[in-house]
Structure 1
Amino acid sequence: MTNDNVRLAFRIGYLGDSFHGSQIQPDVKTVQGELIRAFNQLNWLDQNQEGHNLVLSSRTDAGVNVRLNGGVVTIKRTLWEALTPRKMIRAVDDHLSDKIAFLDVHEVDDEWNPRIAKHRVYRYRLEGIESWQYPGEVFEEWLSLFIGIYDARNFARMEEGKNPMRKIYSCTPWVVQGRVVGFEIIGEAFLWNQVRRTAMALFKLSTGELTMDDIKNAISKPEISVDFGVAPPDWLVLWGVSWEKFPIPSEENTDFTFTAVPNELALERTMRSRWENGARLEMKSMLYHEWAYLGRLPIVRHNRD
């Protein structure tokens, strides 16, 4: 890259049900497409490059919410020097819908690649799946099955040429105000649909459709193909992506609530639908409050003579 240009790392969040996924696609609204549109409206992208220099870190499917993802973009150095990070954040955010939050921006080296991260954190709200019942202490034993380095092809939609070996650092209960609502999984990187397929496997463990041996065999014998299904995207959140230079911020804003599923064993369909609608709004409310904390604008202090 010439000295005329500068490479900028940025972080964003977005509501999954407002987009047809994160990666740009023809004729549909995507997160990457909306970011390129905003930068083009600001005349900040090199038109000769057709916006392809704006790249996101983690790909997400339609419906998957994102608390904190990241990306990189190249702009003219003279423009970057004329702006402050505060002005740039506000300008980009003003050109986006309120379904995307443009949270921060930093100059990085020419070699910095947003797709090479230390780890990624996902959370899945299992209680959003109809008929889920928290199984008690055995839940942590189930979660421990998914920790380690293994061939995860039986928990993914495999893409041609993709290495199925994955490193999962931890898999723990997601607890909100003392109640287990789902699970958190942390890994170096994930295969397509890996977290949602893990969620469905956990759900089927809870219903008795699967056993722990089924999970162990799916991991230890990846050459024997199995399909445990894919959980809905609505209840999945990409909680954060961590890079060496940009770790996931510590959680100061944890004061949110999730309403528990009503206790009736067999919820009437309309009642269940209303609970789900309210629960989805709770997820969105959580994200907006998280973004309010994560997107605090840098303070610009003016010198006085």
Structure 2
Amino acid sequence: MTNQSVRLAFRIGYLGDGYHGSQIQPDVVTVQGELIRVFRSLKWLDTASKEHNLVLSSRTDAGVHVRLNGGVVQIDEELWNALTPRKMIRALDDRLPKDIAFLDVKQVDQDWNPRMANHRVYRYRLEGLEFWKYPGEVFTEWLQMFEGTYNATNFARLEEGKNPIRTILSCKPWIIGGRTVGFEIIGEAFLWNQVRRTAMALHRMSIGEITPHDVKQAIENPDIEADFGVAPADWLILWGVDWDEMKLPQSNNEIHCFTAPPSGPAVERTMRKRWRDGARHEMKSLLYHQWAELGELPIVKHNTFNSEELG
């Protein structure tokens, strides 16, 4: 091995219900912890050191699924040259749990920071929430209230010293097969629980517990405390993160796997519960199919020689 190291940017997806969040924590299984475990088992990290240099871009809570997150790791330059992206991806995929997909990897500048992204995209399946009622065309107007730059204190679990000012670039309906299933929100960066609190505010408006005026006041007056609650994590997907060095890929396949909730006067509570159980599996199926599309390995061209060249 040499003393020179290279900085590698990578992208992964994972199912969040099997982990206590993405960030490493003592005595519990996390996504970052599993990545470090496998890298160390392959002797790609310094096993003599308790420190690590594998960092993820976006922190996700337990239960939140991820189509595409990113991270960075530092490894020996000689090792990287011997591995190639294709071999590294295959080796990691063979050893990681099946609910973590290691999708791609590339060398980047030494000062590249995965947390300094252009934007992040989240999607929330609101129809998975108990008693959700699609409000019709006014839903788009509700979503537009969350766009712009503002103090999001009332829509976050604010950590000490964290700047509450956030810019939401877009907030629009998530439509599958002509049916609005939830919403998509795009921002430069998000506060802790910001998307889930936004989802709960939308849900409570849909069932008449709060009004759009209540939400608007909470946005415009962050010094007046307003708590609309936190929506469950299992209907949330981090759809992707975009950087200049690694642009966020769009899916070429239309999503067909989301069935509509049961409706009508004869619908029983047990029917809705079973539908939600099935809908959770649909969320996972969607991600596996997305990873199959996104995880195309780079083709390595080998030099070929004819008999005359070999002389």
Same fold per superposition (TM over 0.5):
yes
Contact 1:177/1:257 (8 A) holds in 2: no
1:219-258 CA distance string (max 9 Å, x none):
1100001100000000000000001111101221224320
Residues 1:294 and 2:294 aligned together: yes
Tell me the residue number matched to 1:248. 248
Q: Which residue of 1 aligns with 2:47?
A: 47
User: Equivalences for 1:1-305 in 2 at 5 Å?
Assistant: 4-265=4-265, 267-305=267-305
TM-score by length of 2: 0.96
Match of 2:308 in 1: none
2:147 and 2:134 map into 1 onto residues whose CA distance is 20
Aligned partners of 1:234, 1:42: CA distance in 2, in Å?
Answer: 32
CA distance in 2, matches of 1:182, 1:285: 17
Q: Distance in 2 between matches of 1:86 and 1:256?
A: 31
Percent of aligned pairs sharing the same letter: 69
Verify the 8 A CA contact 1:36 1:51 in the aligned structure 2: no
Shift of 1:3: 6.4
In structure 2, do the counterparts of structure 1 residues 140 and 39 end up closer, same or farther at CA, with 3 Å as the change threshold?
same
Higher Cα Rg: structure 1 or 2?
2
C-alpha distance in 2, partners of 1:96/1:286?
Answer: 20
Q: Aligned partner of 2:214: which letter?
A: D
Q: 1:45, 1:51 within 8 Å by CA — same for their partners in 2?
A: no
- Cα RMSD for the two superposed structures: 1.2
1:270 deviates by 2.0
Using the alignment, how far apart are the partners of 2:74 and 2:157 within structure 1? 32
Instruction: Give per-residue Cα distances to partners, 1:11-50, cap 9 Å, x unaligned.
Output: 0000010101000011111000000000011000012443
Q: Residues of 1 paired with 2:10 and 2:51: CA distance?
A: 15
The aligned amino acid for 1:68 is: L
SS in 2 for 1:83: helix
SS in 2 for 1:47: coil
- 1:129-158: CA deviations, max 9, x gaps? 010011110000000000000000000000
Amino acid at match of 1:297: L
Distance in 1, matches of 2:304 and 2:147, equals: 56
Contiguous gaps of at least 5 residues in structure 2: 306-311
Inter-partner Cα distance in structure 1 for 2:256 and 2:159: 37
User: Where does the alignment leave 5 or more consecutive residues of structure 1 unmatched?
Assistant: none
